[in-house]
Amino acid sequence: MSFRGRLRLFFGLIVIVPMIALAVVLFTLTARSETGKADAGISSGARTAFGVHLEQVRAAAPALREVTRDRDLRAALARADLEAAAEQLRALVAGDVVAIELYSLENELLERVGSATAVAARGATVAADGQTVGTIAVSVTDAEELARRVRRLTGLDAALFRERRFLAGTVEPARLPIGERGEPREFKIDGESFRGRVEQLEESVGPPLEIALLRPSAALSERIADNRMLIGVLLAGFLVLALAMATAISRALTGQIRTFLSAARRLARGDFRQPVPVEGRDEFAALGREFNSMSGQLESKIEEVERKREELAETIRRVGDALATGLDRDGVVALAVRQAVDACEADAGRAVALDRGAFANHDVGSLVGDLMTALELSERAAFAVRPEVGTELLEALDQDAPPKLRRRSVHARAGRAFGLSVPMRSLVGGPEYLGAISIARRDAEFTREEEELLEYLAGQAVVSIENASLHETVERQAVTDELTGLANVRALASILSRELERSRRFDSPLSLVMLDIDDFKAVNDTHGHMQGDEVLAQVAGVLRAHSRDIDAPARYGGEEMVVVVPGTDSDGAARLAERMRKAIEGTKVAGVGGGSSLSVTASFGVASVPGSASDRDTLIAAADAALYQAKRAGKNRVVQAASVRARRAAS
């Protein structure tokens, strides 16, 4: 076989066959990629559906409390009169309540009133005469409304089933698709193909709810076909180009293959000193000169690769530092600026915060002269009002078209200095900007690759800042009562344990003031729960206003609140409680929805360590007993717990 024939065979083996294999692999990967994107969207929709369902369950809580407190219903259940109970349940189905269900102690459905397609029920046991008589479940939404909300929030069709029976949905499958829950797969509904999955939504009582989240497969198939067409055109163009180049090279190499083979062997040994002999001015001479040029470039590239390897090692170290300071927003921003300056070979850089609470300003290098001017010009240009910014703000107002959360970098020039700045846009909460990261250098404009690197670093810094903010918010919410802003029960337990240990260590008194808002149930029943929430918030404000910095007001539960008073005996705490009582009595609580204002009072119980208790449990119990003594004595008063010695003498 001739040398040219061998080249053709070689071309077929190293180009055509791999390209066929590559085409098959790329076709498969693009199908999997698009399917994976669709499945990820469906999975995200499933999480949203869980959230919507949980939100509706929580929304049923106020209605459930009203139903379970109904005296006529409780009386009917106490005498096991199901007919009267059902009649009373029908009377309670009003307003937001869609359906009410009554279950026996064995979780058997005894009565259902209202919509047969009600979902997201919240249940609670009902007791009469000290005994549990059954469970009542209240729902404020039905299957059709839940399906519509899921469709509006996720863009996915939803169908709801209970015990494999179709309830409602934006599509109407004849039956629940059979298969493993949570596994994305293909569905056929009335001859149309869908991609989707089935999930189970647990109900507090009764059988679970199943939801099918579906997306039409036609758009997915169309995207896969378009991607495959593009890949096919690119591979075909590459094949034609490779074939033309192979033919030209095979003709040029036929006469002088030994010369170039010898040169290639020298290059393979790493010998770049001896060039390829160049004779004449024909194509092979030009090829020889290019070969020698390539040899020189390869030598320089090897040196550059070695330098890049050292830079990569340093970058890896810095990435490790970034991971170690993932919740240190200032450290992350400082690292991003340093990395941008080093990677882009800039002379200086800085991070400037628009939101002072987002991060601290940070400078790298000498920001003087034209470098400072270029930085300032680029930062002004980054936030200048341009047509695309107006479009962006309009998109932010459109809930159906979420705005692009990353802005492109912007150039500026001042004399010999070039500046590059990219805004740091918040990933949550609308089109808000945290600040900007900017770099500058002299004598060389920044390339698009360097722009993309700066945009990437700014984006990663924003992610870290948002993560730090979310972490701080979660930590704060974990110990704070959402309605009153006071410490919650969990935080109260920690505070009491800490203060009791300090009291024992330094032999100092510790008091606990416990209060209960008088006739709070009447406020809720007469004026509604929103007015009751306003009363709780106002009373909490009074406690904060009259507490010292070392005192710890907290919400104990319902309408009960406490104040931990360190370093104060029972008499001092009682005087504090009296001031709080008078302040509450004189407070006018504004009416909700334009209603008239109202006045409230509170009863207080005071206990102390070591005067009336010895540990946390006895301290709470003593304060609670004093509180209910105040209630029995006529309310709106302060009562101190009896001392330990007095209680022992009385017993």
Query: What amino acid positions are annotated as catalytic residues?
Result: 559
Q: What are phi and psi of 408, to 5 degrees?
A: -75, 155
Look up residue 445 and give its DSSP letter.
Answer: P
Separation of alpha carbons 534 and 525, rounded Å:
14
Q: Are 242 and 219 in contact (CB under 8 A)?
A: no
Please list, in sequence order, all residues whose beta carbon lies within 8 angstroms of the beta carbon of residue 295, skipping any fewer than 6 positions away. Answer: 263, 267, 272, 275, 276
Helix (H, G, I), strand (E, B) or coil at 432: coil
Residue 232 DSSP SS3? helix
Classify residue 532 by burial, with Cβ atoms within 10 Å: 0-12, 13-18, 19+.
buried
- In what order do the strands lie in the sheet containing 131-139? 109-114, 99-103, 131-139, 122-128
- Determine the number of helices (DSSP H) and then strands (DSSP E) in the chain: 19, 23
Paired tokens of 23: 């085409």
Which helix or strand (DSSP H or E) is residue 37 part of?
A: helix 17-59
What distance in Å separates the CA atoms of residue 198 and residue 46, rounded to the nearest whole number? 9
The 10 Å Cβ neighbour count of residue 23 is 17
End-to-end Cα separation, the chain, in angstroms: 117
Give residues with Cβ within 8 angstroms of 250, minimum separation 6: 3, 4, 7, 8
E strands present in 493-624 = 510-517, 552-557, 560-566, 588-589, 598-599, 602-609
| C-alpha span between 516 and 529 (Å, rounded) | 17
Residue 378 · residue 420 · CB < 8 Å: yes
Query: How many angstroms separate the CA atoms of 626 and 605, rounded?
Result: 4
| 3-state secondary structure at position 57 | helix
What's the Rg (C-alpha) of the chain?
37
Distance CA 156, CA 566 (A): 56
| Paired tokens of 332 | 């992350």
Tokens 């020889």 locate to 288
